């Protein structure tokens, strides 16, 4: 049983480590690192499910009779390239946030937002009392 | 033996991830991510997924690490230490979720089993009939480009959309491109061009990398490879040139304003094959009707759409690299 499910358990450990980084870290780039780890865990899950004991890479040859599952390979191959494109999009958003706030720490950004909201509110209150 | 190598690599992967979780210095964390990707590429290789291993090695260990480094150069290299409440709640959530997933894993078919549901349904058809229906010996290419052509068109569309997003956020080459700006003096002194070993080795490597990308592009029917891998490898050759010789010479070879059209051109080339096959009386992306012989038609169709994929992926990766690195100048 341990041999049969070992891959899946490792996948779960990796996935949870990625999720932990996303939740615990306040740094936006580190959050994207966590998402990447989570994503790679999903890749390993799919490829593990596609493996057949004694099989070989799915490239047809007359000397070979047993191939691993090509469908999971196709799904993950395209997912990897899409993954890097979306990672770059996330990084671009982090860079823009850094240009606007001069920080990418989540709690500092929230504090700045709260402060500017507070200033807006007091300004509008003052304007109303003037009327 | 195979299982032993697989388990050892997986344990190394777990060790790398724990190191990344604990690190405060993001620079090292990102470097470890490159190592993490290389390890997972090895695991894919052991698990017979040669095409996936190829892609992961080119994307994860190469291009994606560069993107992270470029972003870190802008946003700073260290993260703040977290306070205790920020670690306790996520830790509890993660342990509970992990325990539930382990409980669910007992229902999974065992690793390597021959009769798992994933191997039934459409897969036997791919394995038995694709040499007569589509042609290429590499079944991954047949499934990717022909049986699941719609799906791949969608994936190229997602890559294109992500590029549009980066383009709108950062502007690919719209700010400083085309202008020969004198580099800041301290950058000049520390330029990688001055490092003899780096310069000579990359001089040796760049041309073979680009040629290898073309080989991967056109040989994807017969061995591991195809448009996705070729695009990333080609882009990594160009990125290597830009890293060593600076972004201005690289943008002379690939002017960003013109390069920004290519993701769309590749996507449209792919879609055009579908439209042409409809005009010849077949279904969308049914390559069999392109020429008189269905197998030849499949071959031409796959070659053209793989070219479209390669153009889109390479142009997107180079563009994103230019946008990110221009911001850090």
Q: Between B33, B165, B232, which is nearest A92 by CB?
A: B165
Q: Cβ–Cβ of A24/B86 closer than 8 Å? A: yes
Q: Cβ–Cβ of B144/A5 closer than 8 Å? A: no
Q: Cβ–Cβ of A74/B89 closer than 8 Å? A: no
Which residues neighbour B241 within 8 Å (Cβ) at sequence distance 6 or greater?
B202, B206, B249, B250, B253
- How distant is the Cα of A49 from the closest Cα of chain B, in angstroms? 7
- How distant is the Cα of A14 from the closest Cα of chain B, in angstroms? 6
Which residues neighbour B170 within 8 Å (Cβ) at sequence distance 6 or greater?
A92, A95, A96, B323, B324, B326, B327
Cβ–Cβ contact B58 with A under 8 A: no
CATH assignment of A2-130, given 3.40.50.970, 3.30.1370.60, 3.40.190.80, 1.10.287.3510? Answer: 1.10.287.3510
* In a domain? residue B280: yes
Q: Cβ–Cβ of B63/A19 closer than 8 Å? A: no
Q: Cβ–Cβ of B159/A59 closer than 8 Å? A: no
Which residues neighbour B189 within 8 Å (Cβ) at sequence distance 6 or greater?
none
Q: What's the farthest any 2 CA atoms get from each other in chain A?
A: 90
Q: Using one digit for the tens of pLDDT, what is the confidence trace for A102-120?
A: 888 888 888 888 888 888 8
Q: Cβ–Cβ of A58/B110 closer than 8 Å? A: no
Domain that holds residue B292: 122-329
Task: Please name which of B38, B231, B49 lies closest in space to residue B138, comparing C-alpha atoms.
Answer: B49
User: Which burial class, exposed, middle or buried, applies to B264 when counting CB atoms under 10 A from its CB (0-12, 13-18, 19+)?
Assistant: middle
pLDDT at A34: 92
**Predicted confidence (pLDDT) at residue A1 exceeds the cutoff of 80:** no
- How distant is the Cα of B196 from the closest Cα of chain A, in angstroms? 31
* In a domain? residue B49: no
Residues of chain A with Cβ-Cβ distance to B75 below 8 Å are: 28-29, 94-95, 98, 104
Question: Would you say B78 and A25 are in contact if contact means Cβ atoms under 8 Å apart?
Answer: no
d(CA B227, CA B220): 8
The tally of domains found in chain B comes to 1
Percent of chain B's residues with pLDDT above 70: 91
B286-to-B28, B70, B147 alpha-carbon distances in Å: 48, 41, 9
Q: Tell me the average pLDDT of chain A.
A: 87
* Strand ranges inside A1-131, DSSP E: none
* In a domain? residue B267: yes
* In a domain? residue B92: no
Q: Using one digit for the tens of pLDDT, what is the confidence trace for A53-65?
A: 888 888 888 888 8
Question: How far apart are the two ends of chain A, measured CA to CA in Å?
Answer: 76
**Predicted confidence (pLDDT) at residue B57 exceeds the cutoff of 80:** yes
d(CA A99, CA B67): 17
Cβ–Cβ contact B118 with A under 8 A: yes
* In a domain? residue B155: yes
User: Which burial class, exposed, middle or buried, applies to A43 when counting CB atoms under 10 A from its CB (0-12, 13-18, 19+)?
Assistant: buried
Q: Which of B185-194, B244-253, B293-302 has the lowest mean pLDDT?
A: B185-194
- ipTM for the predicted complex comes to 0.88
Q: Using one digit for the tens of pLDDT, what is the confidence trace for B152-200?
A: 999 999 999 999 998 888 875 555 444 444 455 445 545 666 778 888 8
pLDDT class for B329, splitting at 50, 70, 90? low
Cβ–Cβ contact B279 with A under 8 A: no
């Amino acid at each position: 049983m341990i041999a049969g499910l070992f891959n899946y358990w490792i996948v779960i450990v990796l996935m949870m480590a990625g999720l932990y980084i996303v939740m615990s870290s306040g740094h936006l780039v580190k959050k994207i690192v966590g998402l990447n780890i989570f994503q790679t865990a999903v890749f390993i899950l799919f490829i593990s499910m596609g493996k057949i004991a004694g099989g070989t890479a799915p490239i047809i040859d007359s000397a070979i009779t047993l191939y691993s599952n090509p469908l999971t390979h196709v799904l993950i191959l395209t997912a990897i390239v899409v993954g890097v494109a979306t990672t770059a999009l996330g990084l671009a958003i982090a860079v823009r946030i850094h240009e606007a706030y001069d920080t990418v720490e989540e709690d500092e950004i929230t504090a700045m937002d709260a402060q500017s909201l507070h200033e807006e509110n007091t300004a509008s209150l003052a304007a109303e009392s003037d009327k | 033996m195979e299982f032993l190598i697989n388990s050892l690599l997986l344990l190394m992967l777990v060790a790398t991830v724990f190191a990344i979780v604990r690190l405060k210095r993001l620079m090292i964390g990102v470097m470890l991510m490159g190592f993490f990707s290389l390890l997972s590429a090895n695991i894919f290789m052991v698990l017979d997924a040669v095409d996936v291993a190829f892609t992961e090695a080119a994307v994860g260990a190469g291009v994606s690490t560069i993107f992270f480094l470029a972003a870190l150069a802008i946003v700073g290299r260290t993260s703040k230490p977290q306070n205790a409440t920020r670690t306790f709640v996520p830790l509890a959530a993660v342990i509970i979720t992990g325990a539930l997933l382990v409980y669910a894993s007992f229902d999974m078919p065992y690793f390597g089993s021959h009769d798992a549901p994933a191997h039934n349904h459409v897969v036997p058809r791919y394995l038995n009939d694709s040499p007569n229906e589509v042609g290429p010996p590499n079944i991954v290419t047949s499934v990717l480009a022909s049986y699941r052509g719609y799906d791949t068109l969608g994936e190229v569309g997602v890559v294109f959309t992500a590029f549009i997003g980066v383009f709108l956020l950062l502007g690919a080459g719209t700010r400083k491109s085309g202008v020969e700006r004198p580099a800041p003096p301290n950058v000049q002194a520390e330029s990688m061009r001055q490092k003899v070993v780096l310069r000579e080795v990359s001089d040796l490597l760049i041309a073979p990398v680009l040629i290898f990308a073309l080989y991967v592009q056109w040989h994807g029917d017969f061995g591991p490879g195809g448009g996705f891998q070729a695009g990333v490898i080609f882009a990594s050759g160009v990125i290597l040139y830009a890293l060593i010789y600076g972004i201005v010479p690289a943008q002379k070879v690939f002017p960003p304003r013109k390069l920004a059209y290519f993701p769309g051109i590749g996507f449209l080339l792919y879609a055009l094959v579908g439209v042409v096959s409809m005009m010849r009386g077949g279904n969308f992306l049914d390559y069999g009707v392109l020429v008189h012989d269905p197998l030849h038609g499949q071959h031409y169709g796959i070659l053209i759409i793989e070219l479209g994929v390669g153009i889109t992926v390479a142009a997107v990766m180079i563009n994103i690299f230019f946008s990110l690195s221009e911001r850090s100048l």
